[in-house]
């Protein structure tokens, strides 16, 4: 059985800034992927594999213009690319509507956190490149459990994880 846990985080100012930066990077990578896919499709190309786009993103991070991508966990933009590609696959498989670009105002800020880097202990959760963030409800989320596809979403700073 898969359960989802939502918990409130209590980050300090520096951690909050890093959380917002991570969510912004995920949104940028998702939009960058959609733009690449749409441009490729308009030019008569086939679907670009997410593996190829992630390689291109890695090369992009090495340029001075996109050096800011190195300030967050490498997994955040990579997972955003995967998510955008999966949205496009669902669209072409007629399982969903055409994916839309995420906006700062209307989209829910969210990002992926690697499950092997997610550590919950003593009422704190470790988020990669953010640090150990206090949990509001310390006993609500189980410790020593494997979590799948953990996401940090802004819903008055709530994080959710499935196990």
Tell me: the pLDDT tens digits for 122-131? 889 999 999 9
State if pTM tops 0.85: yes
Give the per-residue pLDDT at 157: 42
* 56-65 residue pLDDT tens: 999 999 999 9
Mean of the pLDDT values across residues 64-69? 96
Count Cβ neighbours within 10 Å for each residue of 89-110 and write b for 16 or more, e otherwise: eeeeeeeeeebeebeeeebebb
How many helices (DSSP H) and strands (DSSP E) are in the chain?
3, 7
């Amino acid at each position: 059985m898969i359960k989802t846990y939502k918990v409130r985080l209590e980050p300090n100012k520096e951690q909050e800034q890093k959380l917002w930066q991570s969510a912004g990077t995920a949104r940028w990578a998702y939009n960058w992927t959609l733009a690449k896919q749409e441009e490729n499709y308009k030019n008569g190309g086939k679907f670009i594999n997410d593996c190829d786009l992630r390689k291109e993103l890695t090369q992009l991070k090495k340029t001075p213009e996109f050096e800011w991508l190195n300030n967050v966990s490498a997994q955040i933009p990579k997972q955003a690319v995967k998510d955008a590609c999966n949205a496009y696959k669902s669209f072409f498989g007629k399982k969903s509507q055409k994916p839309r670009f995420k906006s700062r105002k209307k989209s829910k800020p969210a990002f992926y956190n690697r499950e092997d880097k997610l550590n919950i202990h003593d009422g704190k959760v470790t988020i990669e490149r953010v640090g150990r963030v206090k949990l509001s409800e310390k006993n609500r989320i189980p410790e020593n459990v494997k979590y799948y596809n953990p996401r940090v979403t802004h819903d008055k700073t709530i994080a959710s994880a499935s196990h």
